[in-house]
Amino acid sequence: MAFLNATDYDVQIRSEINKIIDPSTEQTKLKRAEDMAIDQIKNYLAGRYNLDLIFVDAPAEGVTDQRDNFIVMITIDITLYHLWCKEGGNNIPQTRIDRYADALDWLKAVQKGAATNLPLITNDEGEIVGDLRIWSAHAFEDNRY
């Protein structure tokens, strides 16, 4: 199974994908662009959010969709941007550039801790595991005598 399915693109403009790729021969390009977009999003969300709960498989027909709609939307935005990039920078529609930039801005804000409804990482007891990191410019010293 995959995180995105063909009907997810109907909301955003399925015909746009047909301009970028030949659906009969280049479906692997679409799948590769989807994988790149998912990996890009995971890199921003890793460490704080439960990626296994966020990136669940797309539901079968008639089954309730457990995916976050906003994550689906930005995954499609990033996927379409990656597909357009192969056409050259001057050919990318401004809408795609803007939506890609908006997706990255949101991901950067969430990475820094902006409020979102995404599931956080929890331990076996159900307690939220923090992403607290302590660092210093000074080397660690052991002051035991």
The pLDDT value recorded for residue 75 is 96
pLDDT digits 0-9 by tens, 80-114 = 999 888 877 788 889 999 999 999 999 999 988 88
Q: Is residue 39 part of a domain?
A: yes
Quick one: pLDDT at residue 55? 95
Is 140 within a domain?
no
Can you point out the beta strands (E) in 9-131?
none
Q: Extract the residue ranges of the chain whose pLDDT is less than 70.
A: 1, 14-16, 18-19, 21-26, 130-135, 145
Please indicate, yes or no, if residue 88 is contained in any of the structural domains.
yes
90 within some domain: yes
Report if residue 107 sits inside a domain. yes
Supply 50's token pair. Answer: 């439960």
Please check whether residue 100 lies inside any domain of the structure.
yes
Structural domain harbouring 73? 6-111
Q: What is the pLDDT of residue 76?
A: 94
Task: Establish if 98 belongs to a structural domain.
Answer: yes
Number of folded domains that form the chain: 1
CA dihedral 74, 76, 81, 84 (to 10 degrees): -170
pLDDT value, residue 30: 84
Let me know: does 95 contact 104? Beta carbons within 8 Å. Answer: no
- Evaluate whether residue 130 is within a structural domain: no
Closest CA to 63 of 133, 7, 10: 7
